Structure 1
Amino acid sequence: MNRKLIAFDIDGTLINDNHELLPETKEAIKKMQEAGHMVMCATGRSYPIAKSVLDEAGIKHYILSNGAVAFVDDKQVYSNPLNEEALEKLVQVSDQRDIDIVFNGLMETKLRNEEFQEETKIAMESFGQKLPEIELDFHKRAAVYQVVALLKEEKMDAYEGNFPEFRFVRWHENGVDVLPENGSKAETLKEVAEQFGFKQEDIIAFGDGNNDMEMLAYAGVGIAMENGREELKAVSDFVTLSNNEGGIYHGLKEFGLV
């Protein structure tokens, strides 16, 4: 079998609904690494929020912030930060409309709002993590790779049509990810594959959400979780079991990787 590049989303995919790695998932990752395959995470999480999962899984290759940055062997190999001028405008609009925002830097995640809404706490704690530390002007001292804007659909008029530099991808009823217009997990996975000599047909990707759509469509084999969105399943090559039922192991076994 050719050496494969295997990419896993984290939430709703690699971990179960209790934010845990199943034992068979950890064993499968270990077997694939020992067989010489390149095992990555491709997540919307920033590094501080992804680190505990990466460490437990023993994964040293990862795409963070929905493709804005990538690391191989814990070394940065790709970068696509948000446009600074458009970001400042987004911050101002968010303040005017009482929209809480979180800045994802390279290695830091900061909340802009000292007085935050209950919806913000609900959305951010859905990762199984505490709210980030507060730093109002983090974007003025460091590059920002992704913004998490905490708002319901009815407030999206604040952004829609006003920011051609950005893409807005909803991941929670209270939250959207703000990405570079040309950014996605798929684009960054393609960059990593080209840098490290993988053909498209040798890429396998697992996911469950809106931000996995392009990645699963691009991969040689796109595998959707049973708990994933129906739109995602429609562009996938295979639908495995849910994240609570050993879906990672089941999908890998189906394609002879474990």
Structure 2
Amino acid sequence: MKFQMLCSDLDGTLLSTKDNVSDITISEISRIKETTKIVLVSARMPKSMTYLQKRLGVEQEPIVCYNGALVLDGQKELHSTFMDMEYVEKVHTLAEEHQVKLGLYYKDEWYVEQDSERVQKEIKYTHSSPIYRKTKDTLKDWKQREIGAHKIMLMGTKESSDILFPLLQKNLGLYLHLYRSNDTLIEVAPISVSKLSAIKLLLPQKEELQDVIAFGDNYNDMEMLKHVGCGVAVANGREELKAIANYVTLPNTEHGVAHFIKEHL
């Protein structure tokens, strides 16, 4: 197989641990990076991706952050779409009613109201730190700056998330991308963007989606894997994703992406 571009999700896919890529992954990426464009595609914020780019030796390539809401090429902003404050405030209201905390993201800014076990995990796994302040103050600040959220992370319990997710879908599903990254986390993104839309933006004029191979594990990877030339799911991925993938490789903890590259590229 030969592809012009390789796009990979990070958490649960390219990362063999919670916060890093393995030496075998670095080796396999190094073997193909001169002839294949390596693009990291994630729900993460920029600074939680650039350290991984450096580890892989592909910092000269663009990155797709926040599931496609922010696309960067070094310091150059290629694309930015954030959620209108009207919808951000509605998410906040529904979350408050069910005692679910918000993480609010804009570019490299990350705001939370208070520290928690979940926040500490994010700090550890993403190599970034939040600014602690009341959500209402962040919303007021963003209104004054005329910006919005590239991503909202809703941090609750399984029980509260089970209740809140269908309410968000009912009230805001037409206006926002909503998906559960696990039992306790709900992630929210602008409706007009996706990992696939970002990949299309990065394709040179003479290349098509058929020239792209993509790797993923979760619901936010489904559209990407379905429409590129070759979609590969890791074995630890969602069953729905594996069902539509062209191939299923080893789990991320067994360096599934590197294994597939070694065998097929």
Normalised by the length of structure 1, the TM-score is: 0.87
Tell me if structure 1 keeps the 8 A contact 2:62–2:72. yes
Q: Within 5 Å, which residues of 2 pair with 1:134-145? A: 134-135=132-133, 136=135, 137-139=137-139, 140=142, 141=145, 142-145=147-150
**Structure 1 residue corresponding to 2:217, chosen from 197, 208, 211:** 208
Tell me if structure 2 keeps the 8 A contact 1:70–1:188. yes
Tell me if structure 2 keeps the 8 A contact 1:97–1:158. no
Tell me if structure 1 keeps the 8 A contact 2:70–2:80. yes
Work out the percentage of aligned pairs sharing the same amino acid: 25
Query: Partners in 2 of 1:196 and 1:82 — Cα distance?
Result: 29
Partner of residue 175, structure 2 = 165
Unpaired runs of at least 5, structure 1: none
Partner of residue 246, structure 1 = 255
Partner of residue 25, structure 2 = 25
After superposition, the C-alpha distances for 1:156-210 in whole angstroms (9 at most, x for unaligned) are 24423111211211102111110112322112212222x5542111001011111
Tell me if structure 2 keeps the 8 A contact 1:123–1:174. no
Classify 1:197/1:62 alpha carbon distance in 2 versus 1 (closer, same or farther; 3 Å). Answer: farther
Partner of residue 79, structure 1 = 80
- RMSD (CA atoms): 2.3
Partner of residue 103, structure 2 = 102
- Which residue identity lines up with residue 229 of structure 1 in the other structure? R
**Structure 2 residue corresponding to 1:133, chosen from 131, 134, 144:** 131
Is 1:190 aligned to residue 189 of structure 2? no
- Structure 1 residue 233 displacement after superposition: 1.0
Question: Secondary structure at the residue paired with 1:77?
Answer: strand
Query: Partners in 2 of 1:168 and 1:117 — Cα distance?
Result: 23
Matched positions, count: 251
- Structure 1 residue 72 displacement after superposition: 2.7
Question: Secondary structure at the residue paired with 2:225?
Answer: helix
In terms of fraction of residues, the more helix-rich structure is: 2
Question: Secondary structure at the residue paired with 1:19?
Answer: coil
Question: Secondary structure at the residue paired with 2:181?
Answer: strand
Partner of residue 62, structure 1 = 63
Query: Partners in 2 of 1:122 and 1:197 — Cα distance?
Result: 44
Unpaired runs of at least 5, structure 2: none
Question: Secondary structure at the residue paired with 2:163?
Answer: helix
Question: Secondary structure at the residue paired with 2:111?
Answer: strand
Range with bigger deviation, 11-20 or 164-173? 11-20
Classify 1:210/1:70 alpha carbon distance in 2 versus 1 (closer, same or farther; 3 Å). Answer: same
Question: Secondary structure at the residue paired with 2:108?
Answer: coil
- Structure 1 residue 130 displacement after superposition: 6.5
